[in-house]
Structure 1
Amino acid sequence: MDSGRARWHPIFAAFEPKAGEWWLRDAFDRPYAIVAIVRRGDEVGYRAVTYAERAEEREVVGYYRRLLPALEAAHAHWIASHGPKGGVNGRSAFQRPLA
């Protein structure tokens, strides 16, 4: 149900330095992800990557058919990077305790 309230979306954190490329920035104006249009034949989609100065240091978050889900995934990846890796308390359900 829509309560009629405006909701925040990662697109509000986006800066478009050139056509077809969006940089997501944090509250300190530092970039944390880049979403760009990609084309393969007749198909058009979006590639989301983490931000790094050097392109070869960027990590692919994923490929998407629509802009908003690409931005959401890049933002969720950034948010997740602030917590422990794995499941609850940083421990994955697949990790076994050391014997």
Structure 2
Amino acid sequence: MAYSHHGRVRSEAAFAALAGVAPLQASSGNHERHRLNRHGDRQVNKALDVVARTRMGHDETTKRYVEKRTADDLSPKEIRRILKRYIARSIYRQLQVIMA
């Protein structure tokens, strides 16, 4: 994995960019939205995608979240993007504890 040593990635946002899950503005006119960054470590991004899809299918809390966000007119792709960023944030915090 690209997160090789403590200090290489200095923030949660930098880790999200490294994993390819940092959101990019894709807004136009009155439509404000984001899309996934297509750069970064593709293996980490794929692992986050597998975790997000598994949670969406099996975790009750995540299923409720998906239902709520679907009611807010978000597409499954946008919901998955949000979940991947949330998972990356969680992993970064765990790595900080391990590497400290």
The normalised TM-score by structure 2 is: 0.32
| Greater relative contact order (Cα < 8 A, sep 6+) | 2
Q: Kindly indicate which of the two structures has a greater share of residues assigned to helix.
A: 2
Larger Rg: 1
Q: Kindly indicate which of the two structures has a greater share of residues assigned to strand.
A: 1
